[in-house]
Amino acid sequence: MATSTGTGFSARMQTLASAANPAFAVGVVAVPLAILAATYAMATNGEWRGLFYVHVATGALWFSVAVFFPAVLGPAIGSLDPPAAKQFSAAFTPKVVFFMTGISLTAVLSGTLLADTMGMFDLANPLAPVDWWVTVALAAGWVCGCSGWSSRTDCTSRRTTRPSRRRRTPRCSPASRS
């Protein structure tokens, strides 16, 4: 895997993109955003249901993947031998980073555009919300969506071995008291 010489966000993304295959990285971000653009174009002509479905589908996918990984995939990876877990993580993590970036951005952008299209939020003046709960929901979505962008996850900085699982003899063992 190629590593970048920089240490900033851009360098991490370049490293992850090269590990994930650049065509895959671009595709999983561009395709959901292209679908969003098409449904937003329809929404500007009064047909907002497509935008609603894009928002619901990407939001459900974002949530389900966010629950599935730590609940199912995490323990499964943890049960692998360290070399196998490292190999799996090195191949899987870069792809997931870009997949989740595209899905989360599409969910949050479609929600923002949907609220604007339905008259529940004014993009021209976001500080004067029409409905306060929409502003709170959008702010929460943007915080959750953008927190993935500032992730410190870098597949090159992972530990190569697990700590030893050997049992230590307790310092206060009965043998040491005599």
Q: What pLDDT digit, counting tens, does each position of 115-153 carry?
A: 888 887 777 776 666 677 777 877 887 787 676 543 434
Longest dimension (CA), the chain: 86
Enter the tokens of residue 128.
Answer: 């004067």
The answer to the question of residue 40 being in a domain is: yes
Domain that holds residue 143: 9-159
Residue where the block lists tokens 């792809």: 95
**Radius of gyration of the CA atoms of the chain, in A:** 22
The answer to the question of residue 165 being in a domain is: no
- pLDDT digits 0-9 by tens, 68-100: 888 988 899 989 999 999 999 888 888 888 888
Q: Which pLDDT belongs to residue 87?
A: 92
Q: pTM, whole model, 2 decimals?
A: 0.68
- The count of structural domains within the chain is 1
